[in-house]
Chains A and B, each alone.
Chain A
Amino acid sequence: MSSKDRILGRIRRALRDDAPAVEIPRDYLHVHGARTPAQRVDLLAAHLAEYRAVVHRTDEEGLPALIARLLAERGARSVLVPPGLPPHWLPAAGPIRVPDRVPDRAASTPYELDRVDSVVTGCALAVAETGTIVLDAGPDQGRRRITLVPDHHICVVRVPDQVVDSIPQALPLLDPTRPLTWISGPSATSDIELDRVEGVHGPRTLEVVLVGTQ
């Protein structure tokens, strides 16, 4: 008998008692509180900041200059770019020195990624109540590893369109067959005396740019 058959047989024998069927109550809240779109974005910003993400706000027009400034302040010499990132997000030239663009390629080794200073991506959506950004490897987000290995991640969220209130609102909008990465603040650990320290293996700096009408 295979182990599969053995395990399934044990399960079926174990469940011979006539315990009643279990109903799953779904009366928990779909959203915690009523918010206007602006309040939803404010809550997202507050929760992101509480877990040490750096939050910026701008409009479409101001976006390239803001990203250029953030990269310059970081001293980034190279920036990873997913294939579908809107070209106008990154300035081609300007008063600030533009870092070298590194394309997101399947052939890149982890060592090559490790030499990149910064990465700029979009996101699939953001969840205000938990301060979470979800990436689904879409064209403007790229492979999972590009937002992991470099130490500086700039993530652009279109507000209020990409912001939902809650986890129950987020799940139906996501495709589980795509690789999903949920990010709430930068990498952190509490393993030493439960003191929270930001920045262990993932990016130490997460900058979130909320782009919308200001």
Chain B
Amino acid sequence: MTGTHLGMPAFPAAAPAFPAAAREAVRDEGLRANLRHATHTIRDKRRRAVAELEDWDRLRAAGRAVKDHTLRHLDRYLLQLEEAVTAAGGTVHWAADADEANRIVTDLVRATGEREVVKVKSMATQEIGLNEALEAAGIAAYETDLAELIVQLGHDRPSHILVPAIHRNRAEIRDIFRAEMGGWGRAAPEPLGDDPRELAEAARLHLREKFLRAKVAVSGANFMVAETGTMVVFESEGNGRMCLTLPETLISVVGIEKVVPTFRDLEIFLQTLPRSSTAERMNPYTTMWTGLGPSRGADGDGPSAFHLVLLDNGRTDTLADEVGRQALRCIRCSACLNVCPVYERAGGHAYGSVYPGPIGAILSPQLRGTGSAIDASLPYASTLCGACYEVCPVAIDIPEVLVHLRERVAQGGPVTRGGVRVTLRPADGHTAERAAMRAARLLLDRPGALRAAERLLARARRLAPRRLPGAGRAWTDSRELPTVPAESFRDWWARERSDPR
């Protein structure tokens, strides 16, 4: 092994605000082509998969209700879950924030004496920067999902919840495999073409040696069942099954919002999650396990030690917001990303978080607070077209939360941070918006003034700048200024209506 950087580069805390990051991405023709191809392919497939179920709306309403009900009684269900997992031979740990979760996992890995772990794709462990924390402790964390492997080998960041390497095309992936695989273990076969089949085979060979020797695995979970203590992981490749069954020690880091009350509740999500995410009737593999199983791992079927780390990291703060808490219903299907016109053009990296797209725009500023430039800008990273709400299998009203968060950013107000109720000051950099809104109110309240302004604008249209001066510059930094029409709508209406036909 070489001294290759093994961690997945985390999103920097001082990421540029969304408009600046998006401007770069929008200029990248290759990125836009990759994204457009991918999102349009999957959104059409999804539509067909959903249309197969005549009761889709009822499943959606039921999924929403199960999650809302669970959130209303989250304390009770987490305690029930802990009891069930413990009774089945597992150990439950509680982590209030990312640092605590990373410390718990690092200590658990150290206690095994191992220096490497295999990982199942997990949003929670990315959110807390677990790979970097393990690396700092001298532990190599190998991502085993093909897309995550591409991101990790490419020293890149994920740009999509389901397909983290969606921004890469096959030629780029081949180049990454050829350049990087040898430094991490088994090198890519030579010659290596860019056919997806060949690339998948290279990943199979590279990762199999890791699966076969791994003693410790780290995963997340899609669902946790309170009544039985059952953990559920949906996947396609089999890398999940490898990690969940071959190693001796399994550590699962899971957000507290992933709990559902009963085993029966899975009948809803087993129908809605695959169709919403990969647009399939069912994903190839789903693994469900309960602690160490009936024989407590004594028969060698699965790990002999199971640890569940329950992660808060801003979730209870999100729960405290009566409008914003619906973001905790999210089952990470990524359907909202694939239909979003902003995501399609800006790409996932512009969101400065492991949660990109519409759900990221409401989740990141709630989990992290709106203190940074990127988090304060995320509620504005949307056209409010509502397509995300339409496709959401748990009916999260993303536009409603976006507007709510915009108001919070611009006006300030009471929020909960770290479990403490504080009053947020209006964010810097939004003075222009506030000024514009005041000006708009002034004009809209005075029809005469508005008419005069419109006429003046129409006449001066050839003089209109491409960018606004002064306080308006920030607004046009990230937007093309619309072309001013030759006549105002009022004038057009008056002319059309007075025309005797």
Contact = CB atoms under 8 A, between A and B. Distances in A.
B55 A191 contact: no
A19 B288 CA distance: 33
Contact of B212 (A9, A23, A28, A114): A114
A29 B237 contact: no
A144 B75 contact: no
B65 A189 contact: no
Given A131-B282, A177-B290, A187-B285, A192 B146 contact: yes
A190 interface: yes
A21 interface: yes
B287 A181 contact: yes
B280 interface: yes
Contacts of A7: 78, 94, 96, 256, 310, 312, 316
Nearest to A112: B212
A192 B236 CA distance: 13
Interface stretch (A86-94, A155-163, A199-207): A199-207
A25 B419 contact: no
B69 A29 contact: no
A32 B55 contact: yes
B488 interface: no
B190 interface: no
B62 to A, nearest CB: 5
Interface stretch (B130-138, B297-305, B452-460): B297-305
B145 interface: yes
A125 B400 CA distance: 43
Interface stretch (B163-171, B340-348, B353-361, B425-433): B163-171
B150 interface: yes
Contact of A145 (B42, B95, B246, B312): B246
Contacts of B416: 10, 13-14
Given A11-B75, A176-B228, A197 B68 contact: no
Interface stretch (B12-20, B261-269, B369-377): B261-269
Contact of A171 (B41, B165, B267, B294): B267
A190 B302 contact: no
Given A25-B61, A28-B268, A182 B241 contact: no
Nearest to A6: B96
A143 interface: yes
Interface in B105-143: none
Interface stretch (A60-68, A70-78, A103-111): A103-111
A111 B288 contact: no
B300 A148 contact: no
A9 B173 contact: no
Contacts of A3: 94-96, 100, 312
B29 interface: no
B501 interface: no
Interface in A156-214: 167-168, 171-172, 176-195, 197, 199-203
A137 interface: yes
Q: Which of B59, B165, B280 has the most CB of A within 10 A?
A: B280
B270 to A, nearest CB: 5
- Contact count band on B: 35 or more
B404 interface: no
B415 to A, nearest CB: 12
A178 B285 contact: no
Contacts of B282: 127, 130-132, 182, 184
Interface residues of A, number: 74
B284 A8 contact: no
A143 B199 contact: no
Given A132-B282, A167-B270, A177-B228, A189 B200 contact: yes
B241 A177 contact: no
A106 B150 CA distance: 34
Interface in B232-283: 236-239, 241-242, 245-246, 256, 263-264, 266-268, 270-271, 278, 280-283
A99 to B, nearest CB: 22
Q: Which of B100, B284, B316 has the most CB of A within 10 A?
A: B284
Nearest to B97: A3
Given A11-B319, A26-B62, A189-B200, A129 B281 contact: yes
Contacts of B204: 199-201
B480 to A, nearest CB: 29
A183 B212 contact: no
Interface in A6-57: 6-15, 17, 19, 21-29, 32, 47, 51
B69 A15 contact: no
B461 interface: no
B312 A10 contact: yes
Given A177-B294, A192-B170, A186 B284 contact: yes
B386 interface: no
B322 A187 contact: no
Contacts of B173: 192
Given A7-B316, A177-B290, A194 B241 contact: no
A28 B62 contact: yes
Interface in B69-101: 69, 72, 74-75, 78-79, 88, 94-96, 100
Given A106-B299, A176-B290, A179-B288, A148 B245 contact: yes
Q: Which of A19, A190, A195 has the most CB of B within 10 A?
A: A190
Interface of A: 2-4, 6-15, 17, 19, 21-29, 32, 47, 51, 105-107, 110-111, 114, 127, 129-132, 137, 143-145, 148-149, 167-168, 171-172, 176-195, 197, 199-203
Interface of B: 34, 37-38, 41-42, 52-55, 58-59, 61-62, 65-66, 68-69, 72, 74-75, 78-79, 88, 94-96, 100, 144-147, 150, 163, 165-166, 169-170, 173, 196-197, 199-201, 203-204, 207-208, 211-213, 225, 228, 230, 236-239, 241-242, 245-246, 256, 263-264, 266-268, 270-271, 278, 280-290, 293-294, 299-302, 310, 312, 316-317, 319-320, 322, 325, 416, 419
Given A144-B241, A176-B290, A188-B236, 5 more contacts: A2-B94, A10-B317, A15-B72, A24-B62, A178-B294
14 contacts: A10-B317, A22-B65, A29-B58, A110-B246, A143-B301, A148-B238, A167-B267, A176-B288, A179-B301, A181-B287, A193-B169, A195-B196, A200-B239, A202-B238
